[in-house]
A and B are shown apart, each in its own frame.
Chain A
Amino acid sequence: MKHLLLGDEAIAQGAIDAGLSGVYAYPGTPSTEITEYIQLQESRAPRGIFCRWAANEKTAMEAALGMSYMGKRALVCMKHVGMNVCADAFMNAAITGVNGGLIVLAADDPSMHSSQNEQDSRFYAKFAMIPCLEPGNQQEAYDMMAYGYELSERLKTPVLMRVTTRMAHSRAVVETIEQPKAQNPKSMPQDVNHFILLPAFAKRNYAELVAAQPEFVRRSETDGHNTYIRGTKPEKAILTTGIAYNYLMENYPADMGCSILRIIQYPLPKKLIDQMVADGAKEVLVIEEGQPVVEELIRGMVPSNVVAKGRLTGDLPRMGELSPDCVRTAIGLEPLPKHDSEKLVVGRPPALCQGCGHRDMYAALNEVAREYAEPRIFGDIGCYTLGALSPFHAIHACVEMGASVTMAKGAADAGQHPAIAVIGDSTFTHSGMTGLLDCVNANANVVILISDNLTTGMTGGQDSAGTGRLEQICTGLGVAPEHVRVVVPLPKNMEEIKQTLREEIDYAGTSVVIARRECIQTLKRHLKAAKKQ
């Protein structure tokens, strides 16, 4: 069957067709659509695939490992920075190994379209010493899911699949199989000690992982995903990874004659690289999306008289995603004739929606903050990060999920007052709750302002893990019930919100103010759905 699918959707359909039993994820651009697609398919034709959102990437990774433990095929998906959140579970899943197939899907965001850094998840695969797949197009993304599960089960290891924004969010026609593979039956691990990482067992497991490395390399060399074609002028070679090949072929003149090594599976295929050198390569241009991972590695794999070129040598830009244009320049072609950019065009930055509750929350917070000599407001990850921009200029920091709470605490520990955290409901349950416990235990003089829009807004309105229970969670963690306050962020309530904020700022201890009003986008959808019924 042929379907027009986003890269993310191709991955999801590939997982379903490979007999997936559970997907575990926290929303994050550009990975969100994978889980959403599986949820949609499951609502139309239930196959018993578990597909509820997880509280964060670490809980997702651990649950996926649990499903694998039971012999079933599991998928865990996240954006690249989610790998940091689940790193403990991820690194140790490489030591336990798997029972049912386990694919960890990391969607990287070079150029930081919707992210705070452009870390390259291939480093994580190397760090954990596990195989990594980097499909070069939507069809390969689909096909490599089935392959990835077989590889994972055969080699008893988690497999990392790494994609980037451009493939995740681009549509193409994908040919799929007619009937999904049946899910694995439940089965216990043959050796339960493999999953008990006491030092004695862990040492044995790690030795096995080290011993398995040549087999991982052999798979990269012989399974047919990585391809090497000797050129007619083999002294010049080009090595591409993932989607970089497409930018090369978009521009590549048939008579250029370079040897081309196309890589979509790691560890690097040593034999193919050796062949490229044996054929006479004196110069290797490495074209890869993201950080110069292969460019660094290959320097240790080729003789010293072979020159590696790429992002580190300035032949390609050091940062940002690839384009047909920069690859064109890197292979020595002139740019296409084009118009100059229009000088009169001005930026149009994203903004909080009109009618959004975060707006009213910031309006009140800004007015109250002005009453203090030197307020510090620590922001967090979500739509409300836009409070940093005009017209609010309301926050003084934004680092990573949950950091608002604990940075405010650290600032309060250093004597700052008022120290205020602004965090969304979903971000709070993702990584803010443990920080709040630290605040409570130290009775830190902070105000944690939870801007609760009852959803995970920035990624399009997915379920939020603590909806309806935020007060209970906060009091359960030990915040005094009289210092867990709830306000409704609407212009008519401005005075009440400001007074509440003042009282809690002036209280010398840990307090929580919940500003709760439904996301304007999900509200519109809910009203529309209600009207239909």
Chain B
Amino acid sequence: MKKDIILAGVGGQGILSIATVIGEAALQEGLYLKQAEVHGMSQRGGDVQSNLRLSSEPIMSDLIAMGGADLIISLEPMEALRYVQYLKPDGWIVTSCVPFLNIPNYPELEEVLGRVKAHKNHVLLDVEALAKEAGAPAQAANMVLLGAAIPMLGIDHDKMLAGVARIFARKGEQVVNSNLAAVEAGYNYAISVR
């Protein structure tokens, strides 16, 4: 088993929480893991990404090669496109369809979504709306996205849910349940459109 994943978004959106949950589940599975993060100045409203590598064999590089990623998981559609040169020709893009507008020259949204759809393997979803429908707060939108990526991750659905439960356990049962609901909402959406 080997999965190279690029997590993308805008500083503050919560991509590192997604990485934490996947990492937790991967470790329980006995997988090797490397996860390169972005810290420092680039966090403040700028583009952020994390390279997450999982494998049943030891991993050498902390970084994913261009053309090497199995999957881009993004909380913002243009940010997903920022890294397509890292994606395998048949790799998956799982991204929120809602733009994060903090720059004056954001391209036409239809064009951005069109470029995502040009990839045969994509899941586009409104993570915040799905979180709301599932009765979860807006902060759980990243867990919806995680749920939508589960079918492509190569980690068992139930084991991923167990990972979510462990990560959020110290915040109480209510937080655990709303995050689990968010993950399920994303998962069900991805299964329905795939």
- Give chain A's interface residues, CB within 8 Å of chain B: 4, 6, 29-30, 32-33, 113-114, 166-167, 169-173, 243, 245-247, 249-251, 323-325, 328, 335-342, 344-353, 383, 386, 458-460
Q: Which of B41-49, B130-138, B159-167, B175-183 contacts A (4 or more CB under 8 A)?
A: B41-49
Chain A residues closer than 8 Å to B192, beta-carbon distance = none
Residues of chain B within 8 A (CB-CB) of A340 are 84-85
The reply to whether A342 and B81 contact each other, CB–CB distance below 8 Å, is yes
Tell me the complex Cα distance, A459–B43, Å: 10
Which of chain A's residues have a CB closer than 8 A to the CB of B61?
Answer: 246-247, 249-250, 324
CB of B111 closer than 8 Å to a CB of A: yes
Find B37's partner among A171, A247, A336 (CB 8 Å cutoff). A171
Give A114 to B66 CA distance when docked, in angstroms. Answer: 23
Q: Would A351 and B46 be within 8 Å (CB), given that A342-B81, A342-B82 are in contact?
A: yes
Interface pair B41/A29, CB less than 8 Å apart = yes
CB distance from A79 to the nearest CB of B (A): 9
* Least Cβ–Cβ distance between A384 and chain B, in angstroms: 11
Q: Are A352 and B44 in contact (CB under 8 A)?
A: yes
Which residue on chain B has the smallest CB distance to residue A352? B44
How many pairs, one residue from A and one from B, have CB atoms within 8 Å of each other in the complex?
Answer: 149
Measured CA separation A335–B85 after assembly (Å):
11
Chain B residues contacting A386 (CB-CB under 8 Å) are 44
Q: Mark B77-103, 1 if CB is under 8 A from A, else 0.
A: 011011011111100000000000011
Are the CB atoms of B27 and A4 closer together than 8 Å?
yes
Report the minimal beta-carbon distance from B6 to chain A, rounded to whole angstroms: 12
Contact with A along B106-137 (1 / 0, CB 8 A): 11000110010000000000000000000000
Given A342-B84, A346-B103, A348-B102, answer yes or no on A246-B60 (Cβ-Cβ < 8 Å): yes
Which listed residue (B62, B65, B106) contacts A346, Cβ 8 A?
B106
B34 contacts A172, C-beta separation under 8 Å: yes
Q: Could you tell me which B residues sit within 8 Å of A by CB distance?
A: 10-11, 23, 27, 32-47, 51, 59-68, 78-79, 81-82, 84-89, 102-103, 105-107, 111-112, 115
User: Using Cβ atoms and an 8 Å threshold, which residues of chain B touch A251?
Assistant: 65
Chain B residues lying within 8 Å of A172, measured Cβ to Cβ, are: 32-35, 59, 62
Are B40 and A324 interface neighbours, CB within 8 A?
A: no
Complex contacts, A323 vs chain B, CB 8 Å: 63, 65
Distance in Å from the Cβ of B45 to the closest Cβ of chain A?
4
CA A382 to CA B36, docked complex, whole Å:
24
A339 to B89, Cβ gap below 8 A? yes
In the complex, the answer to whether A348 meets B46 with C-beta atoms within 8 Å is yes
B23 in contact with A4 (CB, 8 Å): yes
**Do B65 and A250 touch (CB < 8 A)?**
yes
Q: Which residue of A lies closest to B108 (CB)?
A: A344
- B63 near A324 with CB under 8 A, answer yes
How near does chain A come to B64, taking the closest CB pair, in angstroms?
7
